[in-house]
Homo-oligomer: A and B are copies of this chain.
Amino acid sequence: MILKVRTKAGPGSTPAYGQIAEHLRREIRGGRLADGKRLPTVREMAKRLGVSRDTVAVAYEALAAEGLVESTVGRGTFVRAAAPSPKGTGATPPLSPLVERLLERERARPRFVDGGESVPLHAIVPDPSLFPLDAFRKAIQRALRKEGGALLAYGPPQGHRGLREAIAARLRALGVEAGPDEVVLCQGASEGISLALRLFASPGDAVAVEDPTYGNVLSAVAGLGLVPVGVPMGEDGPDLAALEQVLARPEVKVLYTIPTFHNPLGTSTSVAHRRALLEIAARLGKPVVEDAYEIDLRYEGRPVPPLAALDRSGLVLHLSSFSKALFPGVRVGWIVARGRLVDALLAVKRSTDLGGSTLLQAALAEFLGSGAFDRHLARLRRALLSRRKALLEALAKSLPAGTQWTTPDGGYQVWVELPEGIDTRELLAEATKEGVQFSPGDFFRVDGRPSRALRLSLATADEAAIRAGVAALGRAVRERMGAGRRASRSRAVHV
């Protein structure tokens, strides 16, 4: 059989592991790879195809999960007899196709090494060493003393009123006029994303997203049976002409956007772009989900009003959370919506999980009221500014000519585009060995096609670690540029 793997980025192309899996799947189902036939080892296959072992391993695992091949340690990977029967004792019942798709996305997640010697520049996970633990412990005690057992009963599905009032006051400082009845608390911004998308889009509908975008929103979309439609990012946010075309499509029911400290780019759109985006959405009657998850983390420049502050049409749902600005473990995010949309959010939430923990919500209200949150934010912003400075200096020093990166005014992430011809998914394994981990760009792409970009995070590494990590990245890139040019060309091999 002949297998060609295209590892060079191109619109609409499938990731390398997907191409390999799909090819073998067809061969097995078509009987051209017979029962019992041994596949090439991961190492052989990777070499023949000019892809990384990780890519081949992911493809083999996908086939094993579907019951099409079986791996035995020390012997190899073998084609299994026909398709497995979904029925009968001991068999796993057939999973929903949506869940199979989610599992495939999970398998395609970049693999990171925990607690190794590599500098963790990959995850946007706040640094526990910065957590104001003592102040929060006291806030829990105060809340329990004041409100007692009610905090452990079912709370209102909309969330603790005191916290909603505190959030509404903070929103007003951002220019968003909203009362506590227009704030719905949720399980982190991530639950908020699912709830907000479900309001407008039914299974089979489409959702407009920026391309690249937050990787997990692509999982949320897939899990809900929705179809993501990418809007390419221009110099100042999503390209407006493309946005208008996408939103005009009847099957596209809602736009998901991150105008402030975009994930993964780190950039923010201008006021003019925000107004233009809102004008398009209002004209086409399409709601806008504004993810403002890092809006509290500005360390430089002037604040730009969020979409919700500029919106006159009532089409914007604004969502944010404490996960990045404080700590994720409280699992508290919020959605700001108007009128009937609040009822709708609550109806969907009730059908899903009956609401969050009132105890933690009340403790957060105490924590905000005591001024501890603002003190923490001031400290966190200083740390981020200093880390970003170290990162940008190190990039200028260690990365080869032709590399470009963003210069964010806040948040945790910086986006780096390497010179043409490098697939950062392939690069990750080598970089990890050199001493740094990052998030490869393909994970943020709507179609998951290979990317020469990567995301670096300021969340957990300090200045010294950042410098060491970027130096390691520079070494890995140069090595790849020297040795890896072959891998970026298409190849044909016989398997």
Q: Which residues of A contact B (CB under 8 A)?
A: 65, 86-99, 102-103, 105-106, 125-126, 128-129, 131, 133, 136-137, 140-141, 144, 148-155, 187-188, 190-191, 194, 198-205, 216, 219-220, 222-223, 225, 253-254, 282, 284-287, 312-315, 323, 327-331, 338-341, 343-344, 346-348, 350-360
Q: Once the chains are docked, how many angstroms separate the CA of A220 from the CA of B338?
A: 24
Q: Once the chains are docked, how many angstroms separate the CA of A204 from the CA of B98?
A: 12
Contact yes or no, B154 A329, CB < 8 A = yes
Contact yes or no, B200 A203, CB < 8 A = no
- Main secondary structure, interface of A, reads helix
Q: Once the chains are docked, how many angstroms separate the CA of A98 from the CA of B91?
A: 33
Contacts of A86 in B (CB 8 A): 285
* Nearest-neighbor residue (CB-CB) of A337 within chain B: B92
Q: Once the chains are docked, how many angstroms separate the CA of A323 from the CA of B93?
A: 29
Given contacts A153-B328, A194-B353, A330-B357, 8 further A-B contacts (CB under 8 A): A87-B284, A89-B282, A92-B338, A106-B350, A125-B153, A152-B328, A155-B329, A216-B350
Contact yes or no, A202 B97, CB < 8 A = yes
Within the complex, the shortest CB–CB distance from A83 to chain B, in Å, comes to: 14
State which of B95, B187, B216, B351 has its C-beta within 8 Å of the C-beta of A199: B95
Contact yes or no, B98 A313, CB < 8 A = no
- Decide yes or no: A354 and B126 within 8 Å by CB, A95-B199, A144-B137, A154-B329 being known contacts: no
Within the complex, the shortest CB–CB distance from A107 to chain B, in Å, comes to: 9
Q: Once the chains are docked, how many angstroms separate the CA of A360 from the CA of B200?
A: 33
Contact yes or no, A329 B350, CB < 8 A = no
Contact yes or no, A148 B128, CB < 8 A = yes
Contacts of A94 in B (CB 8 A): 200, 285
Copies, count = 2
Contacts of A129 in B (CB 8 A): 149
Q: Once the chains are docked, how many angstroms separate the CA of A70 from the CA of B92?
A: 53
Contacts of A87 in B (CB 8 A): 284-285
Q: Once the chains are docked, how many angstroms separate the CA of A198 from the CA of B220?
A: 13
Within the complex, the shortest CB–CB distance from A86 to chain B, in Å, comes to: 6
Q: Once the chains are docked, how many angstroms separate the CA of A141 from the CA of B348?
A: 34
Contacts of A356 in B (CB 8 A): 187, 331
Q: Once the chains are docked, how many angstroms separate the CA of A99 from the CA of B350?
A: 12
Contacts of A254 in B (CB 8 A): 93
Within the complex, the shortest CB–CB distance from A444 to chain B, in Å, comes to: 15
Query: What are 16 A-B interface contacts by the 8 Å CB criterion?
Result: A92-B339, A93-B254, A94-B285, A95-B200, A96-B198, A99-B199, A102-B348, A125-B153, A131-B152, A133-B149, A137-B141, A154-B323, A154-B328, A187-B353, A223-B351, A359-B360
Contact yes or no, B357 A287, CB < 8 A = no
Contacts of A348 in B (CB 8 A): 99, 102, 223
Contacts of A220 in B (CB 8 A): 351-352
Contact yes or no, A223 B352, CB < 8 A = yes
* Nearest-neighbor residue (CB-CB) of A141 within chain B: B137
* Nearest-neighbor residue (CB-CB) of A103 within chain B: B347
* Nearest-neighbor residue (CB-CB) of A360 within chain B: B357
- Decide yes or no: A89 and B313 within 8 Å by CB, A95-B199, A329-B358, A351-B219 being known contacts: yes
Contact yes or no, A153 B126, CB < 8 A = yes
